[in-house]
Structure 1
Amino acid sequence: MAAGANRAAYVAGTFDTKGRELSYLRQCLEKLGLRVVTVDLSTAGKTSTASVHPREVARHHPEGERAVFSNDRGSAVTAMALAFERFMLSRRDVGGLVSAGGSGGTTLATQAMRALPVGLPKVMVSTMASGDVRPYVGPSDICMMYSITDVSGINRISEKVLANAAHALAGMIAHPAPSAGTVKPALGLTMFGVTTPCVQAVTKRLGEAYDCLVFHATGVGGQSMEKLADSGLLEGVIDVSTTEVADEVVGGVLSAGPQRLDVFARRAIPYVGSCGALDMVNFHAWDTVPERFRGRTLYRHNPNVTLMRTTADECRAIGEFIARKLNAMAGPVRFLIPEGGVSAIDRPDQPFHDPEADRVLFETIERQFRAGPGRKLIRLPLHVNDEAFADALVAAWHEVAAPAAAARAAR
């Protein structure tokens, strides 16, 4: 994206139904001295007062305009959201993006916002912002602002809310975070409560050389880490806690989605991974555990979190998922298996100690993993939280990161 005076504030939305509100945002931004580009996301195909006509946006859909301007509103919104995402990624003057709307307008605008780089200002004024906003925000840094009243005209309330949104965007565009002169390369790590000692030991060893960004592996945590990796903001990752895969495969509440780990097939950055907390699937309070799982080994982690031990069959499926993703990675890979246990409660005399289930997990990954130059799987007779396992992770990281470090030193 361009910087400085060339940057524009983008105002996007359905101008056929929210034209007054979106135009008010434009007026507020122009009064603050910003160059504004308005983008119409209407799916009716009518004339538009915006800088960018909806047909121009629709042409960015892989199937062209016809995919957007259909007779079905649901499919039209879905298609326009994809077209708008691709439109925004094609622009080179984006200083920030603001929108206003209800559920449909929020869906349209936030798909593109999620695709934009972390740090680029994004503000969404929405009637949906007082509820569960995860479907809209996901792993991105979107500022959600509740509209209070419906986004339907300019009144004494909407005027204040929309003006605040415009001023917030203008402030972020005009006052970006200063870039430090010398910065340490950023390293992403995944942590869960039951793998905390391991990750803390790793960050202690690497903290002087790297800016260690630790992500809580609760679904959106893994997504956030991979969002940064996809944006080119991470030097690499030490993915200690791949537990979100267990929730995806078995049906827990903390899945990061079926696309977990896919970013490393697109981005050839160094990857060190492990089996942290793959012994568990997460649910909320005890009474939220699905009936079909009530006879399983359950552990009350706290009043709001219930853990379920993965079975040997589930571990086989989890291992297949992980091996498939590891085999697709484009960069150097080290995957370390802690044979002594994968979480704080997977030890002898602990509730999730199940050597047979662990054995199936480890052997499945090992059997299906394709080793090669730059790609190694390492089994160690250690527990994930042993100090020696943290040492092994750090040593593996130095191996895969050495070429990148040499390249940096040469510049």
Structure 2
Amino acid sequence: MAIVALLGTLDTKGIEYGWLRKRLLAAGVEVLLIDAGVIGEPRVPADVPREAVAAAAGLDLARLRAAGDRGAAVTAMAEGAERTVLRLHAEGRLHALLAIGGSGGTSIATRAMRALPLGVPKLMVSSMACGDVTSYIGASDITMMYSVVDIAGINRISAPVLANAADAAAGMARGFARNPPPAVFGTGGRPLVAASMAGVTTAGVDAARERLTELGYEVLVFHSSGSGGRTLESLAGEGHFAGVLDLTLSEVADHLCGGLLGSGAGRLTAAGRRGVPQVVSLGALDMVKFGPPHTVPEHLRGPERRMRVHNPSVTVIRTTRSECRRLGREVADKLRAAVGPTAVCVPLRGLSTLGRPGGPYHDPDADRALFGALRDGLSGGRTELIEFDTHINDPAFGRAAAQRLHHMIATVAPAA
């Protein structure tokens, strides 16, 4: 029978977890209730008591309670919870992980969820799910459900939300138990290549993806939405990819210019640091993304600034000549640090659908500033610079970039 593991703090959320357990049992799955609480007494009995969770982290629960440090306790129990669910998964006793909580409970449970392999169902019902959940999800496939009201009792709002969560977890667990997916990053199969893409670079990246597929690769495409770039970097740093085709760098522009969808200072570093072959381009460096128009900062407005409403939730502004110069230097600095084969493919006729000749963001002066700074920054280094008299969405450009990456991978493969 499918098993749903329930992970939470049974001193503060025991009533709610007891209700969830009944709902899951009624749905026809087995339940393992794991207690990650510390301070108060558990309000329902656990299948895996808190003492065992603390011991999994190499700690004594009594000493942890006596210290009276909530932050340290949350960190310790998160570690113990992570090791506990990994053990249960290895033993075949976990087909889905479900948790509920506020900030502390969400922190504990999502650390455990992030440790589980991709494909294992993970559902977090949280009062924090309506905000920035980046730190909770990381590069994992966690499903976040907003609790609407705080997790504080069973009422006319919390009951249907929690019921939906339990029923969803039960369904996912049954599916996983019947037909577990193969290990995403297991041995065998086609070599994996990561690619970055945005709506404004789709045509070029699709052409590259199709060519790489013809050449025998499986291509994982990451949306340049902030979280997509962070996930790409995380998985590249863990060594899961044979190569990286990083044709879309809008997250670098957002990070450097204060946009909404940046991926942090670590973007464009992991493949180079690990020595993974990478082909990089400058897709979407002609724009910075924000939310609705009112979210664009005042200092980035003005009659000389081109602004466009991409959709009701996203507004983009054109990068200026000075910003493009900074971006060129930034990209060059990151790529010069790479220890593996690296090439930059530069499409001289435009970096996005908006930046094509005749398009609203076509700005040859700004593009030349970007290209010039990149050339200067890479001069004398080992990074290969290849210029194409095409637009980034020209299928020929995408195929050429894919072919270059294939050549690099084939060249280093015998030494791998």
**TM-score scaled by length of structure 2:** 0.76
- Counterpart for residue 276 of structure 1: 283
- From 305, 310, 313, give the equivalent of 1:302: 310
Whether the 8 Å CA contact 2:325–2:369 is kept in 1: the answer is yes
Is 1:393 paired with 2:414? Answer: no
- From 201, 222, 229, give the equivalent of 2:229: 222
Whether the 8 Å CA contact 1:28–1:166 is kept in 2: the answer is no
Counterpart-to-counterpart distance in 2, 1:190 and 1:288? 25
Is 1:213 paired with 2:220? Answer: yes
- From 199, 214, 224, give the equivalent of 1:193: 199
Counterpart-to-counterpart distance in 2, 1:71 and 1:124? 27
Name the CA shift for 1:30/1:266 in 2 (closer, same or farther; >3 Å).
Answer: farther
Find the residue that maps to 1:275 and give its secondary structure: strand
> Match of 2:407, as an amino acid?
E
Counterpart-to-counterpart distance in 2, 1:342 and 1:69? 59
Counterpart-to-counterpart distance in 2, 1:355 and 1:89? 55
Is 1:325 paired with 2:334? Answer: yes
Is 1:17 paired with 2:16? Answer: no
Find the residue that maps to 2:283 and give its secondary structure: coil
Unaligned runs of 5+ in 1: none
Find the residue that maps to 2:200 and give its secondary structure: helix
Whether the 8 Å CA contact 1:246–1:280 is kept in 2: the answer is yes
Deviates more, 1:234-243 or 1:79-88: 79-88
How big is each residue's C-alpha offset from its partner over 1:158-206, in whole Å with a ceiling of 9 and x where there is no partner? Answer: 7735642551453244134454998443332222232222112212323
Whether the 8 Å CA contact 2:23–2:163 is kept in 1: the answer is no
Whether the 8 Å CA contact 2:356–2:362 is kept in 1: the answer is yes
- From 174, 178, 186, give the equivalent of 1:175: 178
- Counterpart for residue 247 of structure 2: 240
- Counterpart for residue 164 of structure 1: 167
Whether the 8 Å CA contact 2:39–2:65 is kept in 1: the answer is no
Find the residue that maps to 2:345 and give its secondary structure: strand
Whether the 8 Å CA contact 2:272–2:278 is kept in 1: the answer is no
How big is each residue's C-alpha offset from its partner over 1:318-366, in whole Å with a ceiling of 9 and x where there is no partner? Answer: 2343334324445432222223332233344444333443333334334
Find the residue that maps to 1:38 and give its secondary structure: strand
> Match of 2:265, as an amino acid?
P
Name the CA shift for 1:173/1:26 in 2 (closer, same or farther; >3 Å).
Answer: farther
Whether the 8 Å CA contact 2:6–2:31 is kept in 1: the answer is no
Is 1:51 paired with 2:38? Answer: no
Counterpart-to-counterpart distance in 1, 2:64 and 2:243? 38
Deviates more, 1:178-187 or 1:266-275: 178-187
Whether the 8 Å CA contact 1:29–1:36 is kept in 2: the answer is no
Is 1:252 paired with 2:250? Answer: no
> Match of 2:13, as an amino acid?
K
> Match of 2:327, as an amino acid?
I
**TM-score scaled by length of structure 1:** 0.77
How big is each residue's C-alpha offset from its partner over 1:216-270, in whole Å with a ceiling of 9 and x where there is no partner? Answer: 3222232343455456554432111111110011011121223323432565433
Find the residue that maps to 2:49 and give its secondary structure: coil
Counterpart-to-counterpart distance in 2, 1:201 and 1:143? 31
Counterpart-to-counterpart distance in 2, 1:262 and 1:115? 23
Find the residue that maps to 1:306 and give its secondary structure: strand
Whether the 8 Å CA contact 2:38–2:50 is kept in 1: the answer is no
Name the CA shift for 1:345/1:365 in 2 (closer, same or farther; >3 Å).
Answer: same
Deviates more, 1:182-191 or 1:238-247: 182-191
- Matched residue count: 395
> Match of 1:110, as an amino acid?
T
Find the residue that maps to 1:218 and give its secondary structure: coil
- Counterpart for residue 352 of structure 1: 361
Name the CA shift for 1:128/1:297 in 2 (closer, same or farther; >3 Å).
Answer: same
> Match of 2:208, as an amino acid?
V
* Aligned-residue RMSD, C-alpha: 4.1
- Counterpart for residue 102 of structure 1: 102
- From 30, 34, 37, give the equivalent of 1:38: 34
Deviates more, 1:246-255 or 1:235-244: 235-244
Name the CA shift for 1:247/1:57 in 2 (closer, same or farther; >3 Å).
Answer: farther
Name the CA shift for 1:133/1:399 in 2 (closer, same or farther; >3 Å).
Answer: same
> Match of 1:38, as an amino acid?
I
Whether the 8 Å CA contact 1:371–1:377 is kept in 2: the answer is no
Find the residue that maps to 1:187 and give its secondary structure: strand
> Match of 1:319, as an amino acid?
G
Name the CA shift for 1:37/1:288 in 2 (closer, same or farther; >3 Å).
Answer: closer
Find the residue that maps to 1:16 and give its secondary structure: coil
Give percent identity, aligned residues only: 40
Shift of 1:30: 8.1
Find the residue that maps to 2:244 and give its secondary structure: strand
Find the residue that maps to 1:15 and give its secondary structure: coil
Is 1:378 paired with 2:386? Answer: yes
